[in-house]
Structure 1
Amino acid sequence: MCFSAEMDLAAGLVVTGIGVDTLRQVRTRDQLALGLLPLVFGAHQLVETWVWWNLEGHVSTPAADLAAWTYVAIALVVVPALVPYAFLRLGTTNRPVLDRLFLASGLAAAGAGLFAIGFEPVGRHIDGHHIAYHPGVAWSGVVLAAYVLATCGPSLFARSPELRWFGIGNLLVVSLLAWLQQNAVISLWCVWAASTSVLINLALRSGRASVRRARAPRARQSAPPA
């Protein structure tokens, strides 16, 4: 959601550019999943451009059906699984049980999301300044809670202040959107997450994105002399 196809396209190009640069900051395999997030968010916005164009009468329905399905699949299936997995690889919480809880919540939300959208065209319409999507099965409060836990929880425990702000901002925004209008969460929250991709970029640039990397020097210092 960027209020129009033109703004979606512009935002998508900018965030995709940030995503490409973020991948260049990846130094270890553990950082790769986190480094992919801005690129996923950028592509997400670009895909929605096709949905806007269809609703405005500029693009054929079959192409828009695929774009809408892809957009919702990224939001409901890819994001809730990828975000906790990325933070699990980084070891941000120092609590393996908590890491696995976030990932389990994400996989549960992703499974529910895939079941909701199925493989049929996703209903959508322009609702004010955003696109409202209508998956085949309505989300329950439990699934939404699992989604929020998976996508916002891991970063709240991150060592990097940039990643903590990423989590705090996303938690506040998704909670507000869910309270205001649940069918707007898919479109509205994802553009916010895309705009905060710069925080992931800064975290990787600063070298504070990985707890495991930060512990290595202390481990070497505590080793007995040869």
Structure 2
Amino acid sequence: MCFSATASFTAGAGLLVVGGIALIKAKTIPQYVLACIPILFAVQQAMEGFLWLTLSHAAYAPWTDLTMYLFLGFAQTVWPILVPLSMLLFEKDPGRKKILLVLLATGVLAALYLGYSLLNFKASARIEEHHIRYSLEFPFQSKLLRGIPYMLATAISPFFSSHKLLRMLGWTLVISYVVTAIFYTNYLTSVWCFFGSILSMLILFIITRQNSGNLKPIPVAKLFTRP
């Protein structure tokens, strides 16, 4: 979370509650996978909370690298795989399933690249302007170039779902990314997770609506039309 250790731990606790409720309400394998996202967001927030402590208290400084790499490894390797996978598990349309398989493969490649880079190249974190700024000295220094596969997997894959509410996940991810990139350019990795709470509430709403029988597939022609 972008403000403090307290904010991170508080957000993590809230996300854990939302995820727990979503798991209780889930009835199918795709729903269980989707319900895991808020819980994993909670774990990620706890990791960054501990990183805040190591960066702001000298007594915890020896743990800085461990907590930083745990957070970055989680943020950069889990989501580009889990998000398209969850969309794929929900999908019934053969054409859309093929597209989602391609996006899942893209996410796997992005996760492998980012994971390899974390293990083999320098990364650092520091507190700056009430945020954590991560510096990643990876190959392909263009953030746009290395960010495209990640974004395709995490933010674009929901747009290919047959379900309108699942597509809303894509809109939430894209809008939150654009807002963060514009106003918090240097703190994108940390601040973008702030919107995890909105995403998690939406996931709970989707599972609840689906089990009430109100979530229906939409025609291919309306894939990118307004709800």
Query: Do Structure 1 and Structure 2 share a fold, with TM-score over 0.5?
Result: yes
Residue pairs, 1:38-187, within 5 angstroms: 38-57=38-57, 59-91=59-91, 95-118=96-119, 122-137=123-138, 138=141, 140-179=143-182, 182-187=185-190
The question of whether the paired residues in 1 share the 8 Å contact of 2:2 and 2:132 is answered with: no
Computed over aligned residues only, the root mean square deviation of the Cα atoms, in angstroms, reads: 2.7
Q: 1:209 to 1:161 in 2, by over 3 A?
A: farther
Q: CA deviation at 1:143?
A: 2.3
Deviations 1:1-35 (A, max 9, x none): 23111111111110111111111122112322211
Is 2:207 aligned against 1:204? yes
Q: CA deviation at 1:194?
A: 3.5
Is 2:188 aligned against 1:188? no
Deviations 1:49-105 (A, max 9, x none): 111111111652333322211111111001111111111111176512211121012
Q: CA deviation at 1:159?
A: 4.2
TM-score under structure 1 length normalisation: 0.83
Identical aligned pairs, as a percentage? 26
Q: Distance in 1 between matches of 2:56 and 2:123?
A: 17
Residue pairs, 1:213-224, within 5 angstroms: none
Q: Distance in 1 between matches of 2:110 and 2:127?
A: 25
1:25 paired residue number? 25
The question of whether the paired residues in 1 share the 8 Å contact of 2:91 and 2:162 is answered with: no
Structure 1 range deviating more: 83-92 or 181-190: 181-190
Q: CA deviation at 1:157?
A: 3.1
Q: Distance in 1 between matches of 2:92 and 2:194?
A: 25
Is 2:12 aligned against 1:12? yes
TM-score under structure 2 length normalisation: 0.83
The question of whether the paired residues in 2 share the 8 Å contact of 1:93 and 1:157 is answered with: no
